[in-house]
Structure 1
Amino acid sequence: MRGEWMKRLDAERPVLIAGPTASGKSAMALEVASRLGGVIVNADALQVFENWRVLTARPTRDEEAVAPHSLYGHVGRAASYSVGHWLRDLAPLLDGPARPIVVGGTGLYFTALTEGLADIPPTPPEIRAAADARIAAEGAAALLAELDAATAARIDRQNPMRVQRAWEVLRTTGRGLAAWQDETPPPLLPLAAAQPLLLDADRDWLGDRIDRRFDAMIANGALDEAERNLERGWDPALPSSKAIGAAELMDFLQGNRSLKDAVADGKTATRQFAKRQRTWFRSRMRAWMPIALP
């Protein structure tokens, strides 16, 4: 299958490439852009932030020189950035002169793009602050217990950010997230109008790649990057601070754990994140063309 997928692509319709972290999505996008042309567009909720290039595995400057890239590192470290923001930033690129090659690991971005996104009112700062405080003090389970049954059954319960978002919607609007989603407008890009590819990675193979990539991140400056973030004022509640491995590296820099433990825990956190991604993809993206890895 790995050698056949390129032959199935045409040079006109947008290409969507989804898959778990460290599975080789960026390399695949570069291959498509090199052979068929197009602009590579980020669909990763953490690679949008300007303050993490190494730790979020954003394309390197050399890779960015091979083909045009968009929506990488364009959001300030202290800013909030939602799937709605991403859709608004993406919309002009769908009608631009270059065919978009949308690549990333945030399943919610892809489903919002191809299935539509409910027009939910923004969360007031005081409700966001209350949610942040409760997550820190009680954990996501406390918020999950207060959700309506339909929403609790639909969201990714293992993802604290998704649980918090659902709780904020309920508190802000008085309606569950599921009810809003059931009134979703038409999508920007229906799946039938695109060429969707889903990387399906073997767990052990992916785990080895995750470990080696995290070691490479440390060797390529992830600690320096974390130190710059610490100097600018580290706030674990910021969306940009959710970069996988950031909390562990900050603990090391603040003297709370050894570098060896920080790296080991960062690898574990990345593996857990990849597991959540694979679960999402398999349940929500069954119509996509699977690309078996390795």
Structure 2
Amino acid sequence: MAIPLLIIVGPTASGKSRLSIEIAKFYNGEIISADSMQIYKYMNIGTAKVTDEERQGIPHYMIDIVEPNVKFSVAEYEKMAKPLIDDIFKRRKLPIVVGGTGLYVDSLIYIMNFSEYIGNDDFRSALKNIASVLGNEYLFERLKMIDPKTYSKLHPNDLRRVIRALEVYQFTGIPISVYQELSNKRINPDYNTVMIGLNYRNRETLYKKIDDRVDAMIKNNLIDEVVNLLKIGYNKYGTSMQALGYKEIVEYLEGKVSLEEAIADLKTKTRRYAKRQITWFKSYETINWFYVDDYSSFEDLKKNIISFLAGKLKFK
């Protein structure tokens, strides 16, 4: 019997976390995060982690599992998340995967052979050195020339994945997007998956949500969070510190930009990231989109989705 699996995706600030908690309460579910930055400890404000109070007693997994200086791959995510899905289901609860990292979602719903992606430590180190001298944008533009599909889905600050894409092409002659497309044709039969996508018809409404979230992060002491991470000794060039919100604040702390400029830059980059997330999720053929601004309230949205799910999978 295939395991029932609910996946909730959407751009940043679309309300995924709040919705997932309400659905978990209604359908006796537990939540597995699919966010590549929420896996890191001590990075709470900039990654918009749900607080203990906001979780309302619903168990959350794949959050705060590694130190900020530890590399973490999508293959490792798959290895850890799948047993969690199995365990949740064995306890007669609904596994709910929630997040905005498309590669993490792909690793669950598709059969992906990560061993076929050849790697080379020396090549990766050389590219990191290039990025430190010429900037992330330089490598990002190289990726655009060889693999525009992957380029459109990534951000220059996602240096690890940019380097990975360049590495795969260098040693196989084939863009990583081709490997992913081949993998994507093999649906994982272990799960009976229903995917919900949250979005806004009016893009400016989403952008206003993003701007408000950034302002709230600053108000909630994002600057202090970044200062403390640097004091602990985490490298500003590390993967985790390249996340949206952290790199921009580091540049402010180093005097390279004013606080106003850092905030404006973060808002712009987050909007671009949201656009890339939407592009990624639109590639899922079986996704069921719900537009938040079609509803007069969150309660109406929640009721509509709960009603929709009742006809798709029997969770209770």
Tell me the TM-score normalized by structure 2.
0.80
2:134 maps to 1:164:
no
Counterpart of 2:130 (choices 129, 134, 147) is 134
Tell me the residue number matched to 1:102: 97
Measured against aligned partners, the alpha-carbon deviations of 1:81-138 in whole angstroms (never above 9, x if no partner) come to 1111111010111211232110000112212211222323563332221222334423
Tell me the residue number matched to 1:207: 207
Of 71-80 and 113-122, more deviation after overlay is shown by: 113-122
Is 1:13–1:194's contact at 8 Å kept on the other side of the alignment? yes
Give the 4+ runs in structure 1 shifted more than 6 A: none
Query: 1:128 and 1:228, CA in 2 relative to 1: closer, same or farther beyond 3 A?
Result: same
The one-letter amino acid paired with 2:100 is G
Tell me the residue number matched to 2:119: 123
CA distance in structure 2 between the aligned counterparts of 1:260 and 1:195, rounded to whole angstroms: 42
Is 1:248–1:265's contact at 8 Å kept on the other side of the alignment? yes
CA distance in structure 2 between the aligned counterparts of 1:179 and 1:89, rounded to whole angstroms: 25
Measured against aligned partners, the alpha-carbon deviations of 1:162-208 in whole angstroms (never above 9, x if no partner) come to 442211123355654255446639555667x1121011223111111
Q: How does 1:137-156 map to 2 (within 5 A)?
A: 137=134, 138-145=138-145, 147=146, 152=147, 154-156=149-151
The one-letter amino acid paired with 2:82 is A
Is 2:69–2:234's contact at 8 Å kept on the other side of the alignment? no
Query: 1:234 and 1:93, CA in 2 relative to 1: closer, same or farther beyond 3 A?
Result: closer
Q: How does 1:4-153 map to 2 (within 5 A)?
A: 13-96=4-87, 97=91, 98-119=93-114, 120-121=116-117, 123-136=119-132, 137=134, 138-145=138-145, 147=146, 152=147
Is 1:244–1:269's contact at 8 Å kept on the other side of the alignment? yes
Is 2:143–2:151's contact at 8 Å kept on the other side of the alignment? no
CA distance in structure 2 between the aligned counterparts of 1:154 and 1:263, rounded to whole angstroms: 29
Is 2:139–2:163's contact at 8 Å kept on the other side of the alignment? no
Query: 1:61 and 1:172, CA in 2 relative to 1: closer, same or farther beyond 3 A?
Result: farther
CA RMSD of aligned residues (A): 2.3
Measured against aligned partners, the alpha-carbon deviations of 1:225-277 in whole angstroms (never above 9, x if no partner) come to 11012223353432212321211111111122221221111111111111111
How far 1:23 moved relative to its partner?
0.4
The one-letter amino acid paired with 2:254 is Q
Q: Unaligned regions of 5+ residues in structure 1, if any?
A: 1-11
CA distance in structure 2 between the aligned counterparts of 1:79 and 1:188, rounded to whole angstroms: 29
CA distance in structure 2 between the aligned counterparts of 1:125 and 1:29, rounded to whole angstroms: 39
Is 1:200–1:291's contact at 8 Å kept on the other side of the alignment? yes
Of 59-68 and 76-85, more deviation after overlay is shown by: 59-68
Is 2:16–2:198's contact at 8 Å kept on the other side of the alignment? yes
Is 2:27–2:94's contact at 8 Å kept on the other side of the alignment? no
Tell me the residue number matched to 1:198: 197
Tell me the TM-score normalized by structure 1.
0.85
The one-letter amino acid paired with 2:122 is E
Tell me the residue number matched to 1:278: 278
CA distance in structure 2 between the aligned counterparts of 1:197 and 1:28, rounded to whole angstroms: 10
Is 2:236–2:247's contact at 8 Å kept on the other side of the alignment? yes
Tell me the residue number matched to 2:286: 287
Tell me the residue number matched to 1:7: none
CA distance in structure 2 between the aligned counterparts of 1:60 and 1:245, rounded to whole angstroms: 18
